[in-house]
Structure 1
């Protein structure tokens, strides 16, 4: 039975972290909101689940995943569930929790990236908070990107199994998510990320190695991979970008 992934159609967003894992593993899945509104699929089907008064454990927001009768929400939680099933998690149970901790830290970075263009309120348009967004984005570039990326570079360097992967000695969903974080930041802040490879060579090598994987390479070249856009988590506004210190 195919997994059903629910996320807003037309957006990479937080759903992309899950797509990358499914694509790398060659798993059968349905992008539910790209299907017709029938049999619980489509955008209408997603909204029915979100607004349900009968679902025992309704999700707060997409992405969420259906695996048979099981309904799971939250990106990191979904990946922790899928990782072992897809062969993208450490075999050691303790390291699986380490992987989850890294994924949650990636989620923190994604939230902060989102808040560069919506620093005051998610319900306001970007145009209603541009001055605050510029202050927030420049602080993110000067302080938060270096802090997050310096940490992840150190995690790679100090991995007892070697510096090719963030946890353990084989690819996990966390490595795929790190690729997506770097890719998203590179789209949103091309000037700030211009010298990324000089400062973070191990992360750059990981990013490039993910791109070179056959299933990921095929996915990135396909129509299934949606482009970044200014309705998503990672947005490019030239006035928010600047060269890193």
Structure 2
């Protein structure tokens, strides 16, 4: 039975971190919200699980994954489950918790990136909070990006197995997620991050190495890869990118 990934159609969002792992592993999966209603798929199928009165422990929001009767919610939790199944987790069990901790830290930064364009309320349009967004973006660019990226760069540098991968001596889902985080930030803040490779050479090398992996390269060039857009987490608003000092 195919794995079933549930996420909003038309968005990379948090679902993209899961997609990258599935694509790298060549996993057999179906993205339900992008399927045909006639096949029992589509957004309605996703919403029916979330709102079901009979589903035990229904997910609060996408992304979530179905593997048979098992429903797993939250990006980091999904990847913690998929990692060993897809051979994308450290072989040492102790390092699997390290990987999960890094994934949760990535999730923290993703939330902060989202809040640069929605600093007051998610229910408001960006246009209703532009002044606050400039203040939030200024702080994110000047303080939060360096704080997170210096940490991730240090993790790479101090990896006992070498600075090729975030955890251990082989690719894990954390490396794929780090690629997605960097890729999203480069899209949202190209001016502010024009010297990203100079400041964080190991992270830049990791980003480029992931792009060159055959399965990832094929995915990025396919119609399965949804383009960055201004309805998603990472949005490019020039006026926010100009907040850099």
TM-score bracket relative to the smaller structure? over 0.9
Report the TM-score, using the length of structure 2 for normalisation: 0.98
| TM-aligned CA deviation for residue 21 of structure 1 | 0.2
2:137/2:243 contact within 8 Å kept? no
**Cα-to-partner distance string for 1:35-77 (whole Å, 9 max, x where unaligned):** 1124642100011111111110100000000001100000000
Aligned counterpart, 2:116: 116
Task: Name the CA shift for 1:57/1:40 in 2 (closer, same or farther; >3 Å).
Answer: farther
- Once the two structures are overlaid, the 10-residue window that deviates more, 45-54 or 172-181, is 45-54
2:79 alignment counterpart: 79
Q: In structure 2, what is the Cα distance between the partners aligned to 1:9 and 1:86?
A: 24
Query: Structure 2: 5+ residue runs without aligned partners?
Result: none
Instruction: Give the equivalent residue in structure 2 for 1:99.
Output: 99
- Which runs of 5 or more structure 1 residues have no equivalent in the other structure? none
- Counterpart for residue 166 of structure 2: 166
Displacement of 1:4: 0.4
CA drift of 1:244 comes to 4.7
Name the SS for the 1:150 alignment partner: helix
Aligned-partner Cα distance in 1 for 2:207–2:223: 21
Deviations 1:136-157 (A, max 9, x none): 0011000000000000000000
Q: What's the offset of the Cα at 1:193?
A: 1.0
1:136 maps to 2:136: yes
- Tell me, what secondary structure is at the counterpart of 1:110? helix
> What count of residue pairs does the alignment treat as equivalent?
245
Q: Where do 4+ consecutive residues of structure 1 move more than 4 Å?
A: none
Give TM-score scaled by structure 1 length.
0.98
Show the counterpart of 1:26: 26
Please give the alpha-carbon distance, in whole angstroms, between the structure 2 residues aligned to 1:181 and 1:226. Answer: 15
> Helix, strand or coil: the match of 1:117?
coil
Secondary structure of the residue that 1:80 maps to in structure 2?
helix
